[in-house]
């Protein structure tokens, strides 16, 4: 049971390392994260066969516990390596964050562009609503002033004189 738990934790930490590197690939320092991403995938591929072997042996009931200290150290050694690898990824991220600063000009420019597009969209909606109201108002005026007997132009001439 202990070796199965170690294999599950090792595989889970490898998966977390892959996801973390993938997240950092889409940051400003993307080219620095390709090698850690490839190494994380390699560790993940290496951690899957022991997990599968331990899981199938545990399910079939042929899982034997050996009391050899050498075997237990060999089984826990990949877990220690993966834990160190994951913490190395996190420390590399924070070190790069200290050294490679974000480009504040580009972030502010993008923020201002998004804000102006949002305001433009809202103003355009208000403009369309106002135009629709004016059009409806003009149609209502035309309906009220149009007569059946005389054209509106004649009525205005009559009102003037």
Stretch among 70-84, 100-114, 140-154 having the lowest mean pLDDT: 140-154
* Residue 30: band (very low, low, confident or very high) from pLDDT cuts 50, 70, 90: confident
- In this prediction, residue 38 carries a pLDDT of 94
pLDDT of residue 59: 62
> Whole-model pTM above 0.95?
no
Range 118-141 burial, b when 16+ CB lie within 10 A, else e: eeeeeeeeeeeeeeeeeeeeeeee
Q: What is the mean pLDDT of residues 14-33?
A: 89
Average pLDDT of every residue of the chain: 82
Using one digit for the tens of pLDDT, what is the confidence trace for 49-58?
A: 888 887 787 6
pLDDT of residue 150: 65
pLDDT for the residue 101: 73
Give the Cα separation of 125 and 73 in Å (integer): 68
Q: Which pair of structure tokens corresponds to residue 121?
A: 């969209």
- Residue 66 pLDDT exceeds 80: no
Enumerate the domain spans of the chain: 2-101, 110-160
Q: Return the CA Rg of the chain.
A: 36
Q: Is the pLDDT of residue 142 over 70?
A: no
Burial of 89 (0-12, 13-18, 19+ CB in 10 A): buried
């Amino acid at each position: 049971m202990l070796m199965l738990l170690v294999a599950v934790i090792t595989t889970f930490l490898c998966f977390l390392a892959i996801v973390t590197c993938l997240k950092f690939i889409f940051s400003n320092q993307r080219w620095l994260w390709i090698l850690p991403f490839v190494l994380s995938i390699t560790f993940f591929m290496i951690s899957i066969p022991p997990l599968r072997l331990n899981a199938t042996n545990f399910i079939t009931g042929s899982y034997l516990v050996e009391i050899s200290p050498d075997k237990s150290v060999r089984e826990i050694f990949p877990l220690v390596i993966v834990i160190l690898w994951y913490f190395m990824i996190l420390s590399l991220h924070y070190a790069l964050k200290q050294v490679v600063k974000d480009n504040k000009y580009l972030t502010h420019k993008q923020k201002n562009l998004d804000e102006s597009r949002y305001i433009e969209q809202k103003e355009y909606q208000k403009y369309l609503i106002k135009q629709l109201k004016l059009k409806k108002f003009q149609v209502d005026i035309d309906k009220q002033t149009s007569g059946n007997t005389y054209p509106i132009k004649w009525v205005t001439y009559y009102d003037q004189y």
